Amino acid sequence: MKKYLLLIFCCYNAISTFAQTNKTLSIIPEPVKTVVKKGQFILPKQISISASNKKGADEVSRFLKNKLEVASGSKVKISSNSVATIKLIFLKKADETLGYEGYHLYVTKNGVAIKANSAAGLFYGAQTFIQLLPKEIESKTIVKHINWVAPCVDIIDYPRFGWRGLMLDVSRHFFTKDEVKDYIDQMAAYKFNILHMHLTDDEGWRIEIKSLPRLTTVGAYNVKKIGQFGNFSAPTPDEPRTYGGFYTQDEIRELVKYASERFINIMPEIDVPGHSLAAIVAYPELSVTAAANTYQVHSGERLSVDNTLNPSSEKTYAFLDKVLTEVAQLFPFGYIHLGGDECTKEYWAKSDSVTALMKKENLKNYEEVQSYFEKRLETIVESKGKKFMGWDEIIEGGLGPNAAVMSWRGIKGGIIAAKLGHQVVMSPTTFAYLDYMQSDRITEPHVYASLRLNKSYQFDPVPDSVDAKLILGGQANLWTEQVYNFRQVEYMTWPRAMAIAEDVWSAKEKKSWKTFFPKVEKHFERLNEAEIKYGPGVYDPSFEAKVNADNKLEVEFSTEVSGLDIYYSFDNSYPDRFYPKYTEALVVPKDATQLRVITYKGKQPIGRMITMPVSELQHRADARKKGN
């Protein structure tokens, strides 16, 4: 009888554990192992956090104190007393499974304990604990009448990769120090640990270099233009060149410290030898072009001037030595990224001095000229005690001995580099370009390509054919040509960076789109509480237009999320759920001028009201017929 009762008890426990796993937890990125226990932890009004005085413990305690006090109104005391509500415990004997960033989180009715080998692990455990609390914990002001409870759990977690990056382009549009801090906080919540700052480009030089003041007095400003970047009218002399800005060295130090308190390293990028117009405008002697004296920092008009540094001039290397001396001192992170992408060779080809260099160094083509430049740069970087990283174009003329490669034109550059024994970070356009449109191009600021959430979720940084040890990890990149303000930075980043977070943190076998997307929806609610903007495009349908066998224009829809209903109109009115529901391909009525579409989840409108001109559908159908 006893045995029988025990069996019933075990079954009940297993079922209730299973039910709670599905019902209550929405942790992103998905942990390695989660066991939901019976019961709840109730956050008291007076909370104590204990931690040993080991390095980094303060940061974790402060993070928790701030997060818990702001929204719940609880009072948090930090002490070294071992009797505490939340205990942060450095493991005395290293747990090999957890590694450097892993943690073990126990939530019981009586309290919370996080155990880790390092402060970084404690921090990630704390982030997971916050995600167990009600969404209102994300509020920036006190929220009353909330049951501040977390389910009892036992979570063991550690990342798949040590490199979990996001890149923010602060050159095309400048974002203030405080905005970058907000970005860092947002990244930390999803356990990213590298912020790659694209600090220089044709539109602005964003970091103070004391020995080269014109880089920021001249190179940091352009003309403010609004509209479609790349197609702006050429600036006229009467338009003020006051738009932009830069980070002083004090501000950089402040950002580095702020990031490190959140266990994030900042990797600076100085993009050379292409994308260097801002530097050339400040110091025209860096270019092979005599006309460089008349150049101006790009403002988003069509680029028609030489934006490359002269690889054949010692002045270029002396310049880069000065820049890198200061950059290396400001950023403690081991790598400096030196760009190397999209370097046009047309001006080098017209230069006698580059021709002379090719002869002297026996360089057979301009890729080898760039390789000569990159190898010299690698030596300079290493002389500052740093490691060299560049975009995958640096492979083309031959890689320098220790260069690490960031593969963006797909993963093939990364595969080549890894096969040559070089370290690689994968950040392919196909999965990880956050500047791409998230939904149909009719709804988004126009960029030349699209990347939907479910595609970002398919990113696996390790191809079968390479030594996994050489793949440091993965990264998503937010270029900001079409991103004019910080709200749009957020919109472009979330939710796709949630997918990337899971791609680079979670164990491969723990990933599942079916379980991931419901979690994303829970996190939308958390972002709402935090007043962080996100792209809702995942709820919008994709449109497929074609000319059918009867020579009629036809349109089909699909959604990346299941369970949505699509309602439509061709009569210029705004559809709701009492309109026709899409079930099969629609033939566009002969005289219709626009199609309107909205998705619903049950009775709730959830997608945006999309207005699609019939002329656009016709254009797409014609393009499809022509095969492009």
The residues annotated as belonging to the active site are: 201, 275, 342
- Residue 130 CB coordination number (10 Å): 18
Binding mask of the shown chain, residues 444 to 483, with x at each position contacting ligand ACM by CB under 6 A: ----------------------------------------
Could you tell me the smallest distance in angstroms from the CB atom of residue 323 to ligand ACM? 20
Residue placing its CB nearer to ligand ACM in the complex, 182 or 341:
341
Q: Which residues contact 192 (CB under 8 A, 6 or more apart)?
A: 164, 165, 166, 264, 497, 501, 504
Reading the block at residue 452, the tokens are 């939907």
572: burial class by Cβ within 10 Å (0-12, 13-18, 19+)? exposed
Place of tokens 């079968």: 464
Fill in the amino acid letter for 407: S
Residue placing its CB nearer to ligand ACM in the complex, 68 or 167:
167
Could you tell me the smallest distance in angstroms from the CB atom of residue 418 to ligand ACM? 18
Residue placing its CB nearer to ligand ACM in the complex, 134 or 165:
165
Could you tell me the smallest distance in angstroms from the CB atom of residue 268 to ligand ACM? 15
Alpha-carbon distance of 481 to 492, in angstroms, equals 12
Q: Residue number with the shortest CB distance to ligand ACM?
A: 341
Which of 300, 128, 136 is closest to 230 using CA atoms?
300
Residue placing its CB nearer to ligand ACM in the complex, 78 or 483:
483
SS (H, E, C) 357-405: HHHHHCCCCHHHHHHHHHHHHHHHHHHCCCEEEEEHHHHCCCCCCCCEE
Residue placing its CB nearer to ligand ACM in the complex, 172 or 191:
172
Could you tell me the smallest distance in angstroms from the CB atom of residue 342 to ligand ACM? 5
Residues 287/347, Cβ–Cβ less than 8 Å: yes
Residue placing its CB nearer to ligand ACM in the complex, 408 or 567:
408
Could you tell me the smallest distance in angstroms from the CB atom of residue 498 to ligand ACM? 22
Could you tell me the smallest distance in angstroms from the CB atom of residue 387 to ligand ACM? 19
Residue placing its CB nearer to ligand ACM in the complex, 275 or 620:
275
Our CA angle for 526, 179, 231, nearest 5°, is 105
Reading the block at residue 303, the tokens are 């680029």
Fill in the amino acid letter for 377: L
Would you count residue 229 as binding ligand ACM (CB under 6 A)? no
Could you tell me the smallest distance in angstroms from the CB atom of residue 60 to ligand ACM? 34
Could you tell me the smallest distance in angstroms from the CB atom of residue 274 to ligand ACM? 9
3-state secondary structure of 261: coil
- Residue 441 CB coordination number (10 Å): 15
Alpha-carbon distance of 122 to 56, in angstroms, equals 9
Place of tokens 């002697």: 285
Binding mask of the shown chain, residues 37 to 76, with x at each position contacting ligand ACM by CB under 6 A: ----------------------------------------
Within 565-624, the residues that bind ligand ACM by CB under 6 A are: none
Residue placing its CB nearer to ligand ACM in the complex, 196 or 422:
196
Residues 29/506, Cβ–Cβ less than 8 Å: yes
Within 334-373, the residues that bind ligand ACM by CB under 6 A are: 341-342
Place of tokens 């009629």: 552
Tell which phi-psi region holds residue 385, choosing left (phi > 0), alpha (psi between -120 and 50) or beta. left
Alpha-carbon distance of 463 to 444, in angstroms, equals 32
Alpha-carbon distance of 280 to 293, in angstroms, equals 9
Within 384-423, the residues that bind ligand ACM by CB under 6 A are: 391, 408
**β-bridge mates for residue 103, sequence order:** 157
Cα distance between the two ends of the chain:
72
Residues 85/104, Cβ–Cβ less than 8 Å: no
Fill in the amino acid letter for 339: G
Residues 165/195, Cβ–Cβ less than 8 Å: yes
Residue placing its CB nearer to ligand ACM in the complex, 117 or 480:
480
Q: Which residues contact 489 (CB under 8 A, 6 or more apart)?
A: 168, 175, 179, 183, 478, 480, 483
Residues 79/57, Cβ–Cβ less than 8 Å: no
- Write out the residues near ligand ACM by the rule CB under 6 A: 341-342, 391, 408
